[in-house]
Structure 1
Amino acid sequence: MTRPGPRERLLAATSTLSYTEGVGVGLDAILRTADVARRSVYQHFGGKDNLLAETIGEASRADLDMIAERMDRAGTDPRARLLAFLDFYLDRSAQTYFRGCRFVAADLGLPDPEHPVHVRTRLHYERMRDFLMIELSALGHPDGAGAADRLQLIVEGMLAQRGTRPGAGPEAAARALFEQVLEER
């Protein structure tokens, strides 16, 4: 088996370290973990900011693909598909490695509104909302846009609570609130 190249090792190291230690993790720690020279960061990404942005972009693509797959396995019923969306996040937050939402943490850890990571996180949130809007429309929800906002807030709030208070167990409350929004008429 061949060893991944410097680009892949940088992305893997940045993904792990930026999640466990935050986006403020030092470049030297990333370089040590990836076992690459400093020039590799600049050759492949142009600098640490773009490395972080690409890492967040890859995490977003992976999560959104897994969500879409989970929703597709739920069938064609929009309610079942929306609950599959929620279940993805409930399952994610129950993992022992879970330390909160990577995207929220990245946004909070990078106060410069022009940082390239913010473009990637905004796109992630928009894609999440698109998933919700499509299914709420198919469900015939009377307030699709408002319901999508509420559902996203429920998910993000549950992830934040689970990440900051691991034993708090907000899953049941999140499911009850999520289902309540789905039943609005």
Structure 2
Amino acid sequence: MRPNKRDEIVRKALDVFYHHGFHATGMDLLVKETGISKTSMYRHFRTKEDIILATLRLRDENFRNWLYRRVAAMADTPKEQLLAVFDALEEWFAKPEFRGCMFIKASAEFQESDHPIHTQSAEHKRLLGDHFLKIARSVIARDPEELTRQLMILKEGAIIMAVMGHSDHPARDAKSAAETLIAAHSG
């Protein structure tokens, strides 16, 4: 099925925002980089905020679908799945187009917790956490919520370290720490 014009704009805008950031990307740059006329852009999106929210929704769907499929393909048991998250991250970090987490960037640029863009970014992290919590509940009996929070911190930290270049193998380092945490929670 051929995507409609709005979907095409969102897909192209996602790449532009991911590469340039949100505040640094004006509507003129979006129009230039996407090859869409301003009239067409404003016909589909009233404001820049509207297109940012649409790109975040698309990125959320794409990223979670990719991550969940990769983890399922890499691991059979719940414990292995929790650890495979970091193997999937390592693959992501190695991609030439890797520029960090779009949701971390969005929440940093729109810091008010009630701003719709910040809220959308937080929702992405909540959905990931909920997914990992379901897995963690089948791995351990003692405080799966705490383990999930700790694993999320490791995941987010690995992403930041990969972007900042402070570690040669941030996903592997985080996976090693995750193994220790899972063992501690399993006892």
Structure 1 residues 71-121: Cα deviation after superposition (integer angstroms, max 9, x where no partner): 332454111221222222221112222121111011102234443222221
Confirm or deny: 8 A CA contact 2:78 2:138 kept in the other structure.
Answer: yes
The amino acid of 1:7's aligned partner reads R
How many residue pairs end up in the alignment?
184
Matches within 5 A, 1:1-185: 5-24=4-23, 25-74=25-74, 76-165=76-165, 168-184=168-184, 185=187
> 2:119 and 2:111 mapped to 1: Cα distance?
13
Report the 3-state secondary structure (helix = DSSP H, G, I; strand = E; otherwise coil) of the residue aligned with 2:22: coil
Confirm or deny: 8 A CA contact 1:6 1:36 kept in the other structure.
Answer: no
Report the 3-state secondary structure (helix = DSSP H, G, I; strand = E; otherwise coil) of the residue aligned with 1:183: helix
> 1:36 and 1:114 mapped to 2: Cα distance?
31
Confirm or deny: 8 A CA contact 2:111 2:118 kept in the other structure.
Answer: no
> 2:167 and 2:145 mapped to 1: Cα distance?
32
Name stretches of at least 5 consecutive residues in structure 1 with no aligned partner.
none
What is the CA-CA distance between 1:167 and the residue it aligns to? Answer: 6.0
Confirm or deny: 8 A CA contact 1:10 1:31 kept in the other structure.
Answer: no
Comparing 105-114 and 58-67, the one that deviates more:
105-114
> 1:90 and 1:170 mapped to 2: Cα distance?
8
Change (3 A) 1:15 1:65: same
> 1:6 and 1:107 mapped to 2: Cα distance?
28
The amino acid of 2:52's aligned partner reads L
> 1:75 and 1:156 mapped to 2: Cα distance?
21
The amino acid of 2:12's aligned partner reads A
Name stretches of at least 5 consecutive residues in structure 2 with no aligned partner.
none
Which consecutive aligned stretches of 4+ in structure 1 deviate over 6 angstroms post-superposition?
Answer: none
Change (3 A) 1:28 1:114: farther
> 2:121 and 2:46 mapped to 1: Cα distance?
20
**Equivalent pairs: percent with the same residue?**
21
> 1:66 and 1:32 mapped to 2: Cα distance?
29
Comparing 168-177 and 137-146, the one that deviates more:
168-177
Change (3 A) 1:85 1:172: closer
Change (3 A) 1:51 1:93: same
What is the CA-CA distance between 1:181 and the residue it aligns to? Answer: 1.3
